Amino acid sequence: MTDAPAARPRVPHFSSGPCAKRPGWSLDNLKNAPLGRSHRAKIGKARLERAIALTRTVLQVPADYRIGIVPASDTGAVEMALWSLLGARPVTMLAWESFGEGWVTDVTKQLKLKDVTVMTAPYGALPDLAAVDWSNDVVFTWNGTTSGVRVPNGDWIAADRAGLAICDATSAAFAQPLDWAKLDVVTFSWQKVLGGEAAHGMLILSPRAVERLETYKPAWPLPKIFRMTKGGKLIEGIFQGETINTPSMLCVEDYIDALEWAESIGGLAALMGRADANAGAIADWVARTPWVDFLAAEPAIRSNTSVCLKVVDPEITARPADAQAAFAKALASAVEKEGVAYDIGSYRDAPPGLRIWCGATVERDDVAALTAWLDWAFAKAKAALSKAA
């Protein structure tokens, strides 16, 4: 049996959401949160406005785009966009992993839109982006959290599009360059790349999306938490810190803390550089390790945040699918039992394998240390198979 590595990750949190807290994080950093105060009070609204302003600065959001804090995490933000904006023209849905597939279900089975084109690809690949019809509204994930596949850039999005580009960017924001001129709706949640707390979503609207909201009324009723207009006009307060429901001011303070940390290390460029370096540590290991490979075969579309891997050892791949899944689960369980890495099994709907979060709050040295432990776990699992045989 291979000896356990001497070096251990200092922070074993590699979950793809909620993700690792920023380096140096402490509850003491949140001691000035206005707890027990109304979010509508001057102090509460000021912190919400601060969160919005920092989001604009760090993400480099154009000045004429609205930024709102909304209920129910990224899911709530996406649902607000789908239910409020779709139906005005035909829709194209792009899906290559579970969350994109979920939005397809919403549009076809819940909204029951009829003029819908669904373009799919298996885990590890992208649909034919060049074939997208931009006279339609188009809904897509920038980065597939459960497949480890991202769009390479925004070049495939038409600059003169008639439809809206509606982008779920929850595991891309703060780690990958978003082409704002090509995007009309962008959503994300705090618990991904900045390691914030759950239950709050961000909704960013271009002027074109605002125009749609003010000129189009859906045929279906909208719940209160989805309503962004009143009397045919945008409710501007939503994008100025007047949230639709009651936010957690502790979570708001935590998000502000992460954004201020991001500014202190160099802003968006630094965040993207950290994620790239972390993913690079995985790539270096995969290149020298015969038993593992990326789920995404093409380097240009591999995620630098939710890095998805598969076991390619011939002895394992020759086994039935359930045995392959059990082997991958054994790897994740072994490192979790040692307290080396938590929550790195592949998503339940994805092919069996590993999913390692490499976003900006993770340290490269910790990723590198983890890879040695994965080699150890693989040797241990293979030895167990040999013994069983």
Nearest to 174 by CA among 113, 265, 80: 265
Q: Which pLDDT value is given to residue 165?
A: 99
Q: Which pLDDT value is given to residue 197?
A: 95
What are the per-10-residue average pLDDT scores of the chain (389 residues)? 89 97 97 96 97 98 98 97 98 97 97 98 98 98 98 98 98 98 98 94 98 97 96 97 96 98 98 98 98 97 98 97 96 98 96 97 98 98 88
Q: Which pLDDT value is given to residue 2?
A: 72
DSSP secondary structure string for all residues of 251-305: HHHHHHHHHHHHHHHTHHHHHHHHHHHHHHHHHHHHHH-TTEEESS-SGGGB-SS
Question: Which DSSP state fits 133?
Answer: -
CA 60 to each of CA 53, 67, 86, 204, 238: distance values in angstroms, whole numbers, following the listed order? 10, 12, 27, 12, 20
Q: Which pLDDT value is given to residue 292?
A: 98
- The phi and psi torsions of 355 (rounded to 5 degrees) equal -135, 115
For the chain, list the domains and their CATH numbers: 35-263 (3.40.640.10), 267-388 (3.90.1150.10)
Q: Which pLDDT value is given to residue 388?
A: 84
Q: Which pLDDT value is given to residue 387?
A: 87
Q: Which pLDDT value is given to residue 342?
A: 98
Taking the CA atoms of 70, 103, 55 and 230 in sequence, report the sign of the dihedral they define: negative
Q: Locate 174 and state its tokens.
A: 């703060």
Q: Phi-psi bin for 254: left (phi > 0), alpha (psi -120 to 50), beta? A: alpha
Q: Which pLDDT value is given to residue 386?
A: 85
Output the pTM of the full model.
0.97
